[in-house]
Amino acid sequence: MSRFLDKSVLITGGGRGLGHQLAVDFAREGANVTVNYSSSAAAADETVKRITETGGQAIACHADIARLDDVTAMVEQVVTTYGGVDILINNAGLSIDKPFLELSEKDWDQAMGVNLKGPFLLSQAVGRLMVAAGQGRIVNISAATAIQARIGNANYAASKAGLNMLTQSMALELGPHVTVNAVGLGFVDSALVRELFTPEQIEQAKDNVPVKRMTTYEETSAFVLMLASDTASFVTGQTIPFDGGGVMR
């Protein structure tokens, strides 16, 4: 498959988890991938190595997406390397779960910085390029908790709810040739989920959705790639729940 042949794809948080899967899958379909990271150079380098060993094109790029100078430098590097940015995946996310009354200002600012300010800064920088080029796709990775809050998750839920509205606002202003959508993730079967939640909580979460299971990185990545492809060129401004039907409960 070569849906993204020679397309430049920038993925934040691309060294781990869903970001890693997205990077590998986009590269497999012909894209030139930029793997952004903020803390783990080793993970980003491993993702790049996996891609290049199979004949793909990828670079790793350090940037704290909540810092404008870092964002500007990263976008300049991508433009220098690949000529522009065709697809932006705002995947990086930070969850600091605590009871509402125990959340510190730092906890709030860190979650907002990664989950909302980062996508704003990066989408603005990349959006200018896309509008000038007359084409582009932006996909934001949101969460089901932006619609249905859960205890101990106020900062994360609020940041993702803001991301959903940012998605709509960008779609209105960056059209007609740039589309912007978000994916509202439910539970993803991953090491992180199994670290954050007890087996009982996971079983309850699965029982609460019609499909009675969690999704996977592979399944989620396939959905994101579809949204970034020409197949979804008539879809914009949407936050699409990808939660096994949990939003109905």
Angle between helices 154-174 and 118-133 (to 10 degrees): 10
Angle between helices 154-174 and 105-112 (to 10 degrees): 30
Q: Which helix (H) or strand (E) holds 150?
A: none
Amino acid, res. 200: E
Is 156 among the residues known to form the active site? yes
Q: Which helix (H) or strand (E) holds 242?
A: strand 239-242
CA dist list (Å): 30 to 26, 52, 186, 226: 7, 12, 28, 14
Q: Which residues pair with 239 in a beta bridge?
A: 182
Candidate list 37, 82, 156, 217, residue with the active-site label: 156
Instruction: Determine the Cα–Cα distance for residues 208 and 202; give it in Å rounded to an integer.
Output: 10
Instruction: Determine the Cα–Cα distance for residues 189 and 205; give it in Å rounded to an integer.
Output: 11
Q: Are 215 and 18 in contact (CB under 8 A)?
A: no
Q: Are 74 and 36 in contact (CB under 8 A)?
A: yes
CA dist list (Å): 22 to 11, 68, 88, 228: 8, 24, 11, 11
Positive/negative CA dihedral, 60, 123, 162, 24? negative
Contacts of 233 (CB under 8 A, 6+ apart): 179
Task: Give the active site residues.
Answer: 156
